[in-house]
Amino acid sequence: MYRTEVRQMTAEAKPASLQLTERQEARRRRILHASARLASRGGFDAVQMREVAENSGVALGTLYRYFPSKVHLLVATMQDQLQHMHETLRKQPPADEQPAARVAHTLMRAFRALQREPHLADAMVRALTFADRSVSPEVDTVSRLTTAIILDAMGLDGPPTPEQLSAVRVIEHTWHSALITWLSGRASIAQVKIDIETVCRLIDLTAPRRP
Amino acid sequence: MYRTEVRQMTAEAKPASLQLTERQEARRRRILHASARLASRGGFDAVQMREVAENSGVALGTLYRYFPSKVHLLVATMQDQLQHMHETLRKQPPADEQPAARVAHTLMRAFRALQREPHLADAMVRALTFADRSVSPEVDTVSRLTTAIILDAMGLDGPPTPEQLSAVRVIEHTWHSALITWLSGRASIAQVKIDIETVCRLIDLTAPRRP
DNA sequence: CGTTTCTCTAGAACAAGTTTCACTATCGGA
DNA sequence: TCCGATAGTGAAACTTGTTCTAGAGAAACG
């Protein structure tokens, strides 16, 4: 930790200028890449800031200018991965009849992807749930992405009702927490599957259209 | 972090002898008390191992003998607090008709208790979700306690069905994750309430007895 | 009691996240 | 093209979790 009450960098207020030059964009990308690679190896603990800096050919101070903490870095890494995931999932929408089944299948597909890189999943999810208020904006972005994936899977006609949004929030809660119990070896893959299917029943509950 | 692959203490295998002497029990209690007090002040970051050791009149090495990491310490602190909570809640069981409402009210009561000590809640919940495999047994104990509280609130006649246990697990997931979003300022108290009420609907779903 | 074996203490040492500093390189505008 | 502002570099310093060591104390046990 080691963080003074109000983070007060020398001069600038918050992030780098929103418009990055090409070189800066490349640096950022190198950093995220190194982060993901190290995370794939050994999870949260294996992502060491000095090593990330070295592997991405950037000074430690620069790394901290781009991502003000390790958690920021890993949450940004998760954003990045989620983006890919969203596109991949969008390409092959689930074919099920019921919205609940579509969401459950989509999440299980995402889960299988995470199983292929369990260490990376560990790093990202641990960072996400460990994040404190200073990371709220970034975590919020991840949350919105996840919500978008679920809403996509539901395949609604119109905008979601408040009830449906509540259900989606609860599904997200379950998703994150179930991942954690799996990652820490306290729940099996089968158990995660059951939990996801169970919570997805809430969707049918909030859209009880009678034909 | 800084933890070698396999934790290999000099001689003893795991924890202190299961039977603590009186002095040892007192030490353990002082440590937990100091931990809770520091956590109440400033949350996870404010619980510094050196300070816990000092405040409980114990050497740093001893602290680590009792609790092999900060996360272990905070999870044990949570166990302790949950025990109190369980007893308190048990004394005034909710009077509602429906099991779902009973569970929702019980959890909201617990939530209000946490709101009185938000920093303490922060420390405990962050530790809980950040815990890795080495803390699994302790985290499992917390999980069982939470499950017991929920099952108590449901007030079942017989043993719960597998379906009901799934619902309870999902409720627990939602409970932890909703707490986190609240603690990190990304969800309001009202939102947590809605999420809890939403997920509790699963209970009615798994016990659709028609009179 | 004396011995043997733990346990506890004090304090140094180490690892990794974070900050700081003194420079140098790059960029955008006059 | 030159200049001031901004960004990046390298290295050291600082904070806090964790480990290690040598010796003092307590407990079990003959």
Q: Is the residue at A56 inside a domain?
A: no
In percent, the amount of chain A with pLDDT more than 70 equals 89
Question: What average pLDDT does the structure give for chain B?
Answer: 90
Reported as a single tens digit per residue, the pLDDT across B46-83 is 999 999 999 999 999 999 999 999 999 999 999 999 99
Q: A7: pLDDT confidence band, cut at 50, 70 and 90?
A: very low
Give the closest nucleotide to A70 (alpha carbon vs C1').
Answer: C17
Q: Is the residue at A105 inside a domain?
A: yes
What Å distances lie between residue A151 and A33, A103, A147, CA to CA? 28, 8, 6
What's the CA B46/C1' C5 distance, rounded, in angstroms? 37
Query: Which residue in A88, A34, A90, A94 sits closest to A63, CA to CA?
Result: A34
Q: Is the residue at B24 inside a domain?
A: no
Domain that holds residue B98: 70-206
| Closest CA of chain B from A107, distance in Å | 15
Residue matched to tokens 């300070």: B51
Cβ-in-10-Å burial (0-12, 13-18, 19+) of A159 comes to exposed
**pLDDT exceeds 80 at position A137:** yes
**pLDDT exceeds 50 at position A14:** no
Q: Is the residue at B141 inside a domain?
A: yes
Q: What is the pLDDT of residue A8?
A: 35
Longest Cα–Cα distance in chain A = 63
**pLDDT exceeds 60 at position B197:** yes
Reported as a single tens digit per residue, the pLDDT across B5-55 is 433 333 333 344 467 788 899 999 999 999 999 999 999 999 999 999 999
**pLDDT exceeds 50 at position B3:** no
SS3 B9: coil
Q: How far apart are CA A152 and CA A156, in angstroms?
A: 8
In percent, the amount of chain A with pLDDT more than 90 equals 84
Q: What is the pLDDT of residue A129?
A: 96
**Domains in chain A, number:** 1
Question: What average pLDDT score do residues A182-186 get?
Answer: 97
**pLDDT exceeds 80 at position B100:** yes
Q: Mutate one of B173, B174, B183, B186 to test the A interface: name it (highest A CB count within 10 A).
A: B173
Is A186 touching B (CB cutoff 8 A)?
Answer: yes
What's the CA A14/C1' D5 distance, rounded, in angstroms? 17
pTM: 0.91
Q: Is the residue at B12 inside a domain?
A: no
Question: What average pLDDT does the structure give for chain A?
Answer: 90
Reported as a single tens digit per residue, the pLDDT across A101-136 is 999 999 999 999 999 999 999 999 999 999 999 999
Q: Is the residue at A178 inside a domain?
A: yes
Is residue A167 within 8 A of residue A203, CB to CB? The reply is yes
CATH number of domain containing B120: 1.10.357.10
Angle between helices B162-183 and B136-154 (to 10 degrees): 110
Counting one residue from chain A and one from chain B, the pairs whose CB atoms sit within 8 A come to 105
**pLDDT exceeds 80 at position A147:** yes
Q: Is the residue at A78 inside a domain?
A: yes
Q: Is the residue at A189 inside a domain?
A: yes
Q: What is the pLDDT of residue A18?
A: 63
Query: Which residue in B72, B19, B24 sits closest to B49, CA to CA?
Result: B72
